[in-house]
A and B are shown apart, each in its own frame.
Chain A
């Protein structure tokens, strides 16, 4: 049985003509220990899907089962502990008036986990921050340092699943390498399962065996990374994504517009 089983998930915002189906009948299964990559255009619903799975947005329909537990709109504390999310935006996720120490102590208190002193120091160390950071405030850290705190915060309650929403897009490449290696180690040692959102195909292919491509709320296609690298994509959008990840190319930018215009509008 897969660890994560999402069936026909739908999430909408707004009502009437202004309504948008941010996630539209998406089904995904993820095995225990797997790293599943989710890629797709900005605004296509990746974060919305993760938030619904994490229990941060109760307004969804469909079915979600994680570790044999059927998830309802409301969660128990134990169900919350099962999955932790690392947010895309390192500012939004860290309360500005709490010290790093306070930010790391909070989840421990919520989940009644003891030895907070040791765990906090360890958690910082694991993400490459020395103890001098412990009593700083988020605004006293650089963007990358802040994201490392967010990862430490997610790991501190020892969840089974990490929902990683572009966890390294705010990090420099060296810290990114450290964090990706770290995520890899932790996955093996703690038997973690990851749902990994990234727009960086090199990162996705490095981390994942299987990926899903989303566009405008829908899951366009799923494939193995090997198939992607062998050019086995069926959808023109995925092909474009692959080519665009090579870097800046003015001619390709113009092609993207053509692709845009021929696209059906989904709202």
Chain B
């Protein structure tokens, strides 16, 4: 199988310099039943590294990612003391400028691939389109590149799949189409929201190896949102653990299994394990104190 090389290394002076820097980010929704605070003041930096974001459903992981890219729903109120990409203040950009940043410099692999794809356009064309938007190339060139991207994400019959509509591809194929679409413009920062949840473990390994290579060789910054604690522990460099819109703990990924916070421990305990069979899985016992715990500083972990 041929592997296309994804672009040239990004020019970065300092390897440990943050690519994205976030301070006191908040996202809230006004609903008929009152305000829902989805993200309650979180702060972190991500450099050229793989940072895992874990936490239960509804803890605000996707909204955090969306807020960075300004992809929150229209009703969301977003505020932040800082939201920088390579030192550039994203809050100051108008929608037009933000559109140029999105896709070209930062992109997000959305959680539900088939919902995010246009149902009436062939998947291959959607990938080619993502390239055309940001590059001055011919249609034929974009087509070739899109086809090669399908191969890169380990699609078995790229020519056949290129021509399929979103409802004709399997769950895992749709997910890889999204990944191809987001990588084709060679962004500097990628938010991957459950990017491999629909992939079988063997294909997952290969797709993760692609992301891993991009971080190592091109200096991509990767924010990796996942429920899969084992995966995050083995794939990422660092982990941020979110609960109720806050970061409650951070640690090096390799130490995730030894995490101390009751919440993180609860999540770890509830995982089914191949090597230890149990009749019932323990479920998380929530402690009201977790909600009000002070925010974790962005430098920890």
Residues of chain A touching chain B, judged by Cβ–Cβ distance below 8 Å, are 13, 18, 20, 39-43, 47, 88-92, 132, 139-140, 142-145, 166, 169-178, 180-181, 184, 199-203, 205-206, 229, 237, 240-241, 244-250, 252-254, 256-257, 259-261, 265, 267
Q: Are B281 and A247 interface neighbours, CB within 8 A?
A: no
Task: Choose among B1, B229, B270 the residue with the greatest number of A CB atoms under 10 Å from its CB.
Answer: B270
Known: A172-B59, A180-B272. 17 other contacts (CB 8 A): A41-B200, A42-B170, A42-B198, A42-B199, A42-B203, A88-B198, A92-B115, A172-B227, A174-B267, A177-B271, A177-B283, A181-B280, A199-B200, A199-B201, A248-B208, A256-B205, A261-B1
A43 to B154, CA, bound (A): 11
A92 to B168, CA, bound (A): 13
Please indicate the chain B residues that have their CB under 8 angstroms from the CB of A180 in the complex: 272, 281
Instruction: Closest A residue to B205 by CB, please name it.
Output: A253
Q: Are A202 and B112 interface neighbours, CB within 8 A?
A: no
B125 to chain A, nearest CB (A): 17
Please tell me which one of the listed residues A145, A177, A257, A267 contacts residue B57 in the complex, with CB atoms under 8 A apart.
A145
Q: Are B56 and A177 interface neighbours, CB within 8 A?
A: no
Please tell me which one of the listed residues A39, A88, A169, A181 contacts residue B283 in the complex, with CB atoms under 8 A apart.
A181
A248 to B168, CA, bound (A): 29
A198 to B166, CA, bound (A): 21
Q: Are A166 and B272 interface neighbours, CB within 8 A?
A: no
A169 to B272, CA, bound (A): 13
By DSSP majority rule, is chain A's interface helix, strand, loop, or mixed?
Answer: helix
With A41-B203, A174-B56, A177-B281 known as contacts, the answer to whether A260 contacts B233 (CB < 8 A) is no
Within 8 A of A (CB), among B90-134: 111-115
With A89-B114, A173-B227, A176-B270 known as contacts, the answer to whether A248 contacts B235 (CB < 8 A) is yes
Instruction: Closest B residue to A267 by CB, please name it.
Output: B157
Q: Are A144 and B171 interface neighbours, CB within 8 A?
A: no
With A144-B57, A261-B1 known as contacts, the answer to whether A248 contacts B281 (CB < 8 A) is no
Q: Are B280 and A184 interface neighbours, CB within 8 A?
A: yes
Q: Are B270 and A248 interface neighbours, CB within 8 A?
A: no
Please indicate the chain B residues that have their CB under 8 angstroms from the CB of A171 in the complex: 57, 227
Within 8 A of A (CB), among B142-193: 154, 156-157, 160, 163, 168-174, 176
Within 8 A of A (CB), among B224-270: 227-231, 233-235, 266-267, 270
Please indicate the chain A residues that have their CB under 8 angstroms from the CB of B171 in the complex: 42, 47, 88-89, 166
A257 to B56, CA, bound (A): 33
Please indicate the chain B residues that have their CB under 8 angstroms from the CB of A142 in the complex: 57-58, 62
Q: Are B205 and A252 interface neighbours, CB within 8 A?
A: yes
Cβ of B55 < 8 Å from any Cβ of A? yes
A54 to chain B, nearest CB (A): 16
Q: Are A173 and B194 interface neighbours, CB within 8 A?
A: no
A221 to chain B, nearest CB (A): 15
A193 to chain B, nearest CB (A): 19
With A42-B170, A244-B201 known as contacts, the answer to whether A257 contacts B206 (CB < 8 A) is yes
Please tell me which one of the listed residues B156, B169, B229 contacts residue A173 in the complex, with CB atoms under 8 A apart.
B229
Cβ of B84 < 8 Å from any Cβ of A? no
A244 to B201, CA, bound (A): 6
Q: Are A43 and B172 interface neighbours, CB within 8 A?
A: yes
A199 to chain B, nearest CB (A): 4
With A143-B62, A144-B58, A245-B274 known as contacts, the answer to whether A169 contacts B197 (CB < 8 A) is yes
Please indicate the chain A residues that have their CB under 8 angstroms from the CB of B235 in the complex: 247-248
| Nearest 10 A/B pairs, CB to CB | A42-B172, A144-B57, A247-B234, A177-B281, A91-B115, A248-B235, A177-B270, A206-B272, A253-B209, A174-B284
A170 to B114, CA, bound (A): 14
Instruction: Closest A residue to B163 by CB, please name it.
Output: A18
Cβ of B301 < 8 Å from any Cβ of A? no
Q: Are A181 and B198 interface neighbours, CB within 8 A?
A: no
